[in-house]
Amino acid sequence: MVRTRTGRHFLQLPGPSNVPDRVLRAISRGTIDHRGPDFPALTRALIEGLRAVFRTDSAVVMYPASGTGGWEAALVNTLSPGDRVLMFETGQFALNWIHVARRFGVHVDVIETDWRRGADPALLEERLRDDRGHTFRAVALVHNETSTGAMTRIAEARRAINRAGHPALLLVDAVSSVGCMDYRHDEWGVDVTIAASQKGLMLPPGLAFLAISAKAQAASRTAALPRSYWDWNPMLASNADGFFPYTPSTNLLFGLRESLAMLEEEGLEQVFCRHARYGRAARSAVQAWGLSTQCERADEQSDVLTTVVMPQGHDADRFRGLVHDRFNMSLGTGLGKLKGRVFRIGHVGDFNDLMLAGTLAGVESGLALSGVPIRRGGVDAALRSLEQS
């Protein structure tokens, strides 16, 4: 096998996504004093920009962390030991969040799924209606399950909670949807939204964000889980003056200012349309190959990644290895129980039609070279889909 290292590496993971040159240049500036006079203007601009992306007028905080830190922050600021939380096991990330909650002594009721769909709003409503004593303190959902490519319809989940008349907090992992898929923290009545830097926000990994409703802020006053680093109250207090309670990731914040400017210049609606086009085009390719996506429901397909099921007897990671060596392209691996059974094509962030075409060409050729029985013509189908929209 010829290993190809020439040209630019195709980083087609569903995060970390490709970091635009503009953002890389912004990050490479000299670090400034985070307790100095120039910092408050930066902090305030970032909070304003993030509010626009989360679509919220509420508080937004930034932690030097990955998305997993965001999960922990959402839990420890709102819950107490023994609190009941309702969660859906829609995939590996939902499962990981469930594990974090349990490690803190939170009692998690899990609704299992077959990992081929999002959380079912009807089931959510039924479980909340049955909880007449309102013992669930929170409902925690993953918006875009990056291990499966299936999305949970958060607006419908909110309506289900309202129909059940349940006061539970709504915590949403939007790690792989904020900045690339339609997301509305305020309109959907979300209490805590968690996001991270390395997906739609087009930054390297290293920043986690929370948008926090007034109801969640009130909950934090009585929440008794142990917290120190993740406590959002000192963060909110320092941010009000434009500072941080501890050293922030200064250079990533420079990058964030640039990526927020890029999202604003393109316009969020346009950003969402662009990703929806990639999602449709990638699924046309999968269909043309005669393969299937892990997500079974048409109305829950993710716009930012396509998870492809390998035919029986073919190992997805061997195929990924071939694609890596032959085409200098990284595709996402199958996670948890999907290991070896699926591969994930990321089409998120700083991306265009020809990058998608190149990515799908590498996948199609890699499948053929791996001896996977496919029909050719997936790239063609994707191009036609792109031409039509």
> Does 173 participate in binding ligand PLP (rule CB under 6 A)?
yes
114 Cα distance to chain centroid: 20
Helices (H) and strands (E) in the chain, counts: 13, 14
Sites for ligand PLP among residues 244-273 (CB under 6 A): none
Q: Where are the alpha helices (DSSP H) in 19-80?
A: 21-27, 39-54, 67-78
Return d(Cα 295, Cα 111) in angstroms, integer.
Answer: 18
**Interface with ligand PLP includes 118 (CB under 6 A)?**
no
Token output for 327? 């085409």
Q: Fill in the per-residue mask, 340 to 379: x = in contact with ligand PLP (CB under 6 A), - = not in contact.
A: ----------------------------------------
Q: Which residue, 25 or 99, has its beta carbon nearer to ligand PLP?
A: 99
Beta carbon of residue 273, minimum distance to ligand PLP (angstroms, whole number): 22
Please choose, out of 3-11, 158-166, 172-180, 262-270, the segment that lies near ligand PLP by the rule CB under 6 A. Answer: 172-180
Please state, as a whole number, how many other Cβ atoms lie within 10 Å of the Cβ of residue 103: 10
Residues of span 17-76 touching ligand PLP by CB under 6 A: 66-68
Q: Which of residues 66 and 233 has its CB atom nearest to ligand PLP in the complex?
A: 66
Phi and psi angles of residue 12, each rounded to the nearest 5 degrees, phi first: -100, 50
Shortest Å, Cβ 184 to ligand PLP: 17
Q: Which is nearer to ligand PLP, 68 or 287 (by Cβ)? A: 68
DSSP 108-155: EEEEE--SSS---HHHHHHHHHH-TT--EEEEEEESEETTTTEE--HH
- CA–CA dist 345, 380 (Å, integer): 17
Which of 12, 18, 146, 249 contacts ligand PLP by CB under 6 A? 146
Which of residues 73, 119, 128, 175 is near ligand PLP by CB under 6 A?
A: 175
Q: Least separation, in Å, of the C-beta of 93 and ligand PLP?
A: 4
Beta strands per DSSP E along the chain: 10-12, 59-64, 84-89, 107-112, 136-142, 144-145, 150-151, 169-173, 192-196, 207-212, 292-293, 305-309, 329-331, 342-346
Q: Does 180 sit near ligand PLP (CB under 6 A)? A: no
Query: How many residues of this chain interact with ligand PLP, rule: CB under 6 A?
Result: 12
Q: Site map for ligand PLP, 67-106, x if CB under 6 A?
A: xx------------------------x-------------
Cα–Cα distances in angstroms (integers) from residue 191 to residues 130, 145, 181, 277, 364, in the given order? 22, 19, 19, 30, 42
Rank residues 282 and 305 by Cβ distance to ligand PLP and give the closer one: 305
310 φ, ψ (degrees, to nearest 5): -80, 140
142 near ligand PLP, judged by CB under 6 A:
yes
Q: Decide: is 148 part of the binding site for ligand PLP (CB under 6 A).
A: no
Residues near ligand PLP, by CB under 6 A: 15, 66-68, 93, 142, 146, 173, 175-176, 196, 205
